[in-house]
């Protein structure tokens, strides 16, 4: 199934000049989420111990993937969202910084994980996830995305950080 027709492009959201890739039509299609989950299950079956999904749209794809694989699900959240002791990693944004956090007992040293999110753009958030997982000694098998914005350099940034990337579909800046 070609996923690209199920992804809506919204111009000038959340600010002028941005072409937002909206996954809600994909989720509303009866086959959309099933297709994404099946593709990821096929790729990661038997290869990971846990699925680490990035807040918040990564949860939509990460939780059914973990359930289908029969492995644990670990939410990687924005600051202050986890109820138990957590560790975090700060990363730079265009203007300022942000942070991702995970419970201290979420991933053990040596566990094989796949990092899941809906979209790869510049690689800032996923790069922070890789750094945080390296801090706890996890083995990141791959970073999986539904969408890659190919013109924004995220794949190269993650490769520099030692992360392999798998994306189910890609968009260039001029597509839409």
Instruction: Please tell me the distance from the alpha carbon of residue 42 to that of residue 166, in angstroms, as a whole number.
Output: 13
Helix (H, G, I), strand (E, B) or coil at 151: helix
Return the sign of the alpha-carbon dihedral for residues 171, 30, 74, 78.
positive
Q: Return the structure tokens found at 22.
A: 């909206």
Say whether 43 is catalytic.
Answer: no
Phi/psi at 150 (nearest 5 deg)? -70, -20
The one catalytic residue among 21, 42, 43, 94: 94
The one catalytic residue among 19, 21, 45, 57: 57
Phi/psi at 92 (nearest 5 deg)? -85, 140
> Do 128 and 88 contact (CB within 8 A), yes or no?
no
Say whether 8 is catalytic.
Answer: no
- Residues marked active site are found at 57, 94
């Amino acid at each position: 199934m070609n996923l690209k027709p199920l992804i809506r492009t919204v111009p000038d959201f959340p600010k002028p000049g941005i072409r937002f890739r909206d996954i809600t039509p994909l989720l509303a299609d009866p086959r959309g989420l099933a297709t994404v989950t099946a593709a990821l299950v096929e790729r990661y079956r038997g290869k990971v111990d846990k699925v680490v999904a990035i807040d918040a749209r990564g949860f939509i794809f990460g939780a059914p993937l973990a359930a289908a694989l029969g492995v644990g699900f670990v939410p990687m959240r924005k600051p202050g969202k986890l109820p138990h002791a957590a560790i975090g990693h700060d990363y730079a944004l265009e203007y300022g910084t942000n942070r991702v956090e995970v419970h201290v007992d979420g991933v053990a040293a040596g566990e094989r994980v796949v990092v899941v999110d809906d979209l790869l753009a510049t690689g800032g958030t996923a790069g922070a996830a890789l750094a945080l997982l390296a801090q706890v000694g996890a083995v990141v098998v791959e970073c999986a995305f539904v969408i890659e914005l190919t013109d924004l350099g995220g794949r190269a940034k993650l490769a520099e950080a030692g992360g392999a990337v798998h994306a189910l579909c890609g968009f260039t800046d001029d597509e839409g």
